[in-house]
Structure formats: C-alpha cells, structure tokens
Amino acid sequence: MSTRASQKAARFTESVIREMTRLANLHGAVNLSQGFPDFPAPVEVKQAAREAIAGDVNQYAITWGAKTLRDAIARKFQQLYGVPVDPEREVTVTCGSTEAMIATLLAVLDPGDEVIVFEPFYENYGPDAILSGAIPRFVKLRPPLWSFDPEDLKRAFTEKTRAIVINTPNNPTGKVFTREELTLIAELVLAHDALAITDEIYEHILYDGAVHVPMAALPGMAERTITINGMSKTYSVTGWRVGWAIAPPLLTGAIRKVHDFLTVGAAAPLQQAGALALALPEAYYSDLAAAYARRRERLLPVLERAGFRVHRPNGAYYVMTEIDGLGWDDDVEFARYLVEKIGVAVVPGSSFYADPKDGSRQVRFAFCKRDETLDEAERRLFKLRPR
Ligand SMILES: Cc1ncc(COP(=O)(O)O)c(C=O)c1O
C-alpha cells in the first residue's frame, strides 16, 4: 500500500522524551522531563549571533562547517585534552550532536554490522542504529555506580562488531566513565579493530571532582574514535542546533558526505556565535559546573523526601530514581499520573532500555532548571503520597 511507513520507520516509536514535553505543556506541568535549560544563554554568545545576522552571515556556510568554528573546535579540544585536531580534515559541523551521531553511524556502519550500546542509553541511539541498518548489542550499566561487568562487555564484542557507542558524562544515569573503564573499552576496541563513537556533550558538567576523560586521548584511540559534541548543553542553546564530530580524516570524509546530503549545513550565523562561545575563558566552565552542582543539591533532597530512591549523578544534569518505594511498578503509568495529577513531567525509565521491563521502576528527572522552577516542582511533589 502506498500509504504505509517504511519498515525502518515502523521499527521505532516517536521520542518519549519529546512526548513528555508536549504532555507537560498540555497539563501545565513543571517540565523536568526534556533536558533543556529554562534559563538564559550567555549574553555575549547571544550578542555574537545577533551581530552575525546583522553582518549578513545569512547564506550557507561551507557544508562541513564555518572555518572559524572548526578552528575553535580543534583549538579547544587540543588545549583541554592534548589531542591534536586538524580543523581542515577532522571536523564536521552538524545540526546538533543529534545529526553528528546519525551521520556518523550512517557513514561507518553497514547493514548487519553490530554496534555495542551501554544500557540505559540516551533514547536516540536505538533508532539511530536501526536507521543505519546495524544490529545493536546492549551492555548493562548497573546501579548504584552504573558500572558494567567487564565479562558482559567482552561477550558483547564479536567478529561483527564495528563500533561501540559511549556517552560520558552519561544521560540518563549521570555516570562519568572512569579512565580504567575507558581503558578496558579501548583495549577491546583495538583488539577487534572496531571504532569508538563517543558522545561527550556533557563534558563540562561534572560533580564532586569527577574528571572527564575523552576516549580520543587514550593511547592509539584518536585514530579510531569519533568524538561527538555540540553547543546545546555547554552554552544552554539546545534550540540552536549546532553540533560537531571530530574524527580521523578518512572517516571525516565519509561523515561529511552523509552530512552534506542530510542537511547541507548548520545555521551559519549561529556557527559564527559558536566560534566566540568556544573561546570563553575557563571561568565560564567552572561556573557552569558549580551552578549545576547547586541545582543538583536543590533537587535531590526534594526527591528523597517525596519518596524516590535516588541515584546521585556524578555528571550531566539528570537523576535516575527508583519508584518502587512509592508503590508503583509501571513507570509509564506513574509518569502519566505525575504529569496529570501532581503537575510534574518526568521521563519513564523504560524509554532508556531495549526491554521496557528493565526500566519499569525508574523515572528520570532533569534539573537544568531555574530555582523558581525547582521550587515549584518541590511544592507540587509535596502532594505525592505512596500508593
Ligand atoms: C547524550 C545526549 N546526546 C545528544 C543530545 C542531543 O544534543 P543536540 O542538541 O546537540 O542534538 C542529548 C540531549 O539531550 C543528550 O542527552
């Protein structure tokens, strides 16, 4: 029938996270579901965008990214992590890190290839794997530390493994992968001649002295790592849709081709503003992390008092919680109750697992929100009672 969806499109549902935002708007709920800040972006970054438009930076940038932004991306990565990056041959600017991820998977995976994904995972990775025709193999991260069993990981690598997706600091768990864990992953990647695809979009949002170790900085890994990042989280501009992929030249060539035919390019004036943003002084990043640490300290006790069992995050701006203490064992039912009757929107845990059962007693809160928003969430959660 001509009106049917493709088999690929039929194999995944629409985003639960974005659906929760729509429900939050419908019910006038405090939205602690989707990970976007409700506070202003830095003044100087917004000013740079205004100036770029006023200066008529209004036409297509070079498809793989404006030179000023690519230079800034390469310089920042090298300065922070000591990994040299050639902005001419190793950087592709995309429409958000979302496009960087799908363009990368389409560029490096063939149908039938296997891609290893840690679970719970950021929900996009499932559909991304399907769209690229690859077979995802999941390795569990287990609370309280969200660590993985090295034996599980070794078993997940097969002769068909082409890549492993790592997200550190991690959404939804708040885990920051340690150097030891990353070293073990790197050894397996090297032994299987595979690729590491690392989503490092929360690299600056770290707590309690946690340190971000980029996979590309480990010995032998720069040649086989695609590092994905973007402006969304670090500069509080999730709606600008500017992201990038750093990869060795051969892979970058493939990523650039896919990117060109997917979107041509990211918004030119916002790329210009990105170049300024990436040159902000160190203090900007330490202030950002400190502000998120305060928000974490604000929300976590509220959740504990409300009856949630809380897994304290080490990085990113989410907290995974267990709802069994509140008498619920169905995360979707609970999230609906919470948004409709209590007026707080969260993301059901099942959206982060291949088998929904695995997340049926969890929900995720986002705390990238103003004090007033968190205060209002506290007032509303005060009404929550165990069933
Ligand atoms: C782990 C992770 N990667 C990527 C994204 C999307 O980022 P972008 O706005 O750059 O597409 C998000 C947003 O929540 C995320 O949590």
Residue pair 27/339 in contact by the 8 Å Cβ criterion: yes
Q: Give the residue, out of 171, 176, 319, with the most ligand 1 atoms within 8 A of its beta carbon, to mutate for a pocket test.
A: 171
pLDDT at 379: 97
pLDDT band at 106 (very low <50, low <70, confident <90, very high): very high
Strands 344-345 and 30-31, bridge-based pairing: parallel
Q: What contacts 161, CB < 8 A, 6 or more positions away?
A: 113, 114, 115, 116, 137, 192, 194
CA 200 – ligand 1 centroid, Å? 9
Q: Could you tell me the two tokens for 7?
A: 């088999």
Cβ-Cβ contacts under 8 Å for 301 (sequence gap 6 or more)? none
Residue 281 has pLDDT above 70, yes or no: yes
The confidence score (pLDDT) of residue 14 equals 80
Report d(CA 276, CA 263) in Å as an integer.
23
- Most ligand 1 atoms within 8 A of CB, residue of 20, 97, 197 to mutate: 97
Helices (H), 5-141: 7-10, 16-27, 43-54, 67-81, 96-108, 125-131
Give the pLDDT score at 8. 87
Residue with CA at minimum distance from ligand 1 atom 16: 171
Q: Distance (Å, rounded) from C-alpha 141 to C-alpha 149?
A: 8
Q: How far is the CA of 95 from the centre of ligand 1 (A)?
A: 11
pLDDT band with cut points at 50, 70 and 90 for residue 15: confident
- 61: phi then psi, degrees, rounded to nearest 5: -80, 170
How high is the mean pLDDT of the chain?
96
* pLDDT exceeds 90 at position 244: yes
Contact 290, 298 (CB under 8 A): no
- Dihedral over alpha carbons 126, 132, 135, 136 (to 10 degrees): -30
Tell me, what's the pLDDT at 1? 63
* pLDDT bucket at 17, cuts 50 / 70 / 90: confident
Q: What is the pLDDT of residue 2?
A: 79
What residues line ligand 1, using a CB cutoff of 6 Å?
A: 35, 96-98, 122, 167, 171, 199, 201, 230, 232, 238, 243
* 97 alpha carbon – ligand 1 mean position (Å): 6
Of 17, 201, 365, the one to substitute when testing ligand 1's pocket (max ligand atoms within 8 A of C-beta) is 201
